[in-house]
């Protein structure tokens, strides 16, 4: 195991006009997994994983140069202050009404027009981990309270890629952090066919139905008898045609013995390559998104090695709190106060099944 670093590019801050060199860190282990993370958006820029024949390929979408990560949103980024959608960008907290920027139809999504994914984070190496930190001032994108956030990335020798999120606030605010990597275990260039070949299992007997603009209605519905039933192994290619619209962008309510404890919640297997991704989280929700808003025409989003990333060419598996939880009293609480730090852990574990 080891960590090395280099300079990946240069970012011109649109607010300050200051140019900053962007560091990239490479984490390796003895099982052949290699992960790269960058200071911009505290993001994951690359995950190399061997297949059942020992051939390595990148299992996330990404770019050869830094500019791609500034041009296309959420590619491997840390999402905050609040992941996912908040209806109309409005909420009331401790008697005060707040209006957040609208950046997703008529709603607020993934922290706003310049969420935490669009900032350069400070970085340092500690032991076998890379740690990023970011200060978000009171009023940032409309949110109350100064918040100091941290993301720690650690790669173990068994293929476990762990992400630990922490945040502290000076006043009551909403916090919901996650990672927004686009996965395709068939390799980043395998496209929709690669996605459809994945066999998925998700430990959730309920999901949150959504409106036409993807805001949860507030109800918890049974997955049984629907395309959302992933409790037993099912190919994405068989499940997605049963879902209205033919794709997932939905939150699943997980079986959780105790919120805050790391638990196994999902498994994705790509039989042709043998690659397996197991997902563990300490949060009660899992947003699964099957790349429905990726371009439908070739050449509109060109990734590493000149590959065009297109419609349903990858999936996101984002452990988090429920979307719009601040406006739904029956959803898990997502409000944090001084002295009550936000903590959330994810493990993406990569295995090979021969």
* Residue 119 among the catalytic residues: no
Candidates 129, 119, 127; CA nearest to 151 is 129
Digit-coded pLDDT (tens) for 37-75 = 999 999 999 999 999 999 999 999 999 999 999 999 999
Domains of the chain: 2-352 (2.70.98.10)
Q: What is the distance, to the nearest Å, from the Cα of residue 223 to the centroid of all Cα atoms in its chain?
A: 23
Catalytic-role residue among 110, 180, 188, 250: 180
CB 37 within 8 A of CB 44: yes
**Residues sharing a CB contact under 8 Å with residue 195, sequence separation 6 or more, in sequence order:** 184, 186, 236, 237, 290, 291, 312, 313, 314, 315
SS3 category, 28: strand
Q: Rounded to whole angstroms, how far apart are CA atoms 202 and 224? A: 13
Q: Rounded to whole angstroms, how far apart are CA atoms 138 and 115? A: 14
The response to whether 84 counts as a known ligand-binding position is yes
Q: What is the pLDDT of residue 1?
A: 66
SS3 category, 120: strand
Q: Rounded to whole angstroms, how far apart are CA atoms 121 and 71? A: 18
Residues 176-196 have a mean pLDDT of: 98
CB 134 within 8 A of CB 121: yes
Indicate the Cα dihedral angle 316, 47, 263, 147, nearest 10°.
-80
CB 15 within 8 A of CB 31: no
Catalytic-role residue among 39, 263, 283, 318: 318
The response to whether 64 counts as a known ligand-binding position is no
Q: What is the pLDDT of residue 158?
A: 87
Q: Rounded to whole angstroms, how far apart are CA atoms 302 and 68? A: 8
Q: What is the DSSP string of 224-287?
A: TTSTT--SS-EEHHHHGGGSGGGS-EEEEE---SSTTS-EEEEEEEETTTTEEEEEEESSSEEE
Digit-coded pLDDT (tens) for 206-242 = 999 999 999 999 999 999 999 999 999 999 999 999 9
Q: pTM here?
A: 0.97
Q: Rounded to whole angstroms, how far apart are CA atoms 25 and 4? A: 6
pLDDT over threshold 90, residue 319: yes
Angle at 292 between CA 295 and CA 115, to 5 degrees: 85
Radius of gyration of the chain (CA): 19
Mean pLDDT of the chain, nearest integer? 97
**Residues sharing a CB contact under 8 Å with residue 30, sequence separation 6 or more, in sequence order:** 1, 157
* Residue 39 among the catalytic residues: no
pLDDT over threshold 80, residue 133: yes
Q: What is the pLDDT of residue 330?
A: 95
The response to whether 85 counts as a known ligand-binding position is yes
| Burial (0-12, 13-18, 19+ Cβ within 10 Å), 329 | exposed
Digit-coded pLDDT (tens) for 84-112 = 999 999 999 999 999 999 999 999 999 99
pLDDT over threshold 70, residue 168: yes
Q: Rounded to whole angstroms, how far apart are CA atoms 36 and 27? A: 6
SS3 category, 308: strand
pLDDT over threshold 70, residue 199: yes
């Amino acid at each position: 195991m080891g960590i090395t670093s280099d300079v990946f590019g240069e970012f011109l801050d649109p607010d300050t006009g200051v140019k900053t060199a962007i560091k990239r860190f490479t984490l390796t282990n003895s099982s052949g997994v290699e992960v790269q993370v960058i200071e911009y958006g505290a993001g994951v820029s690359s995950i190399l994983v061997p297949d059942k024949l020992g051939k390595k390929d990148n299992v996330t979408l990404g770019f050869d140069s830094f500019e791609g990560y500034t041009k296309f949103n959420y590619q491997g980024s840390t999402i905050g202050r609040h992941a996912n959608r908040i209806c109309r960008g409005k909420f009331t907290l401790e008697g005060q009404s707040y209006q957040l920027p609208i950046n997703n139809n008529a709603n607020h999504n993934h922290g706003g027009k310049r969420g935490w994914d669009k900032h350069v984070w400070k970085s340092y190496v500690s032991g076998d981990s890379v740690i990023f930190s970011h200060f978000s001032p009171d009023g940032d994108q409309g949110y109350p309270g100064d918040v100091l956030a941290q993301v720690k990335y650690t790669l173990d020798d068994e293929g476990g890629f762990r992400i630990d999120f922490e945040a502290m606030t000076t006043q009551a605010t909403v916090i919901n952090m996650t990672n927004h990597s686009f996965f395709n275990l068939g390799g980043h260039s395998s496209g929709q066919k690669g996605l459809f070949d994945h066999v998925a299992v998700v430990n959730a007997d309920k999901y949150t139905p959504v409106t036409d603009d993807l805001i949860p209605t507030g109800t918890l519905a049974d997955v049984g008898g629907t395309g959302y039933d992933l409790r037993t192994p099912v190919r994405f290619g068989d499940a997605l045609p049963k879902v209205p619209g033919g794709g997932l962008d939905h939150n699943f309510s997980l079986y959780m013995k105790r919120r805050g404890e790391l638990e196994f919640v999902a498994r994705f297997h790509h039989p042709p390559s043998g690659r397996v991704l197991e997902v563990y989280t300490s949060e009660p929700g899992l947003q699964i998104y099957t790349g429905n808003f990726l371009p439908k025409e070739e050449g509109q989003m060109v990734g590493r090695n000149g590959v065009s990333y297109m419609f349903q060419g990858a999936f996101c598996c984002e452990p988090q709190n429920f979307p719009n939880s601040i406006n739904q009293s029956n959803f898990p609480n997502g409000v944090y106060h001084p002295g009550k730090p936000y903590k959330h852990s994810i493990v993406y574990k990569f295995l090979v099944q021969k």
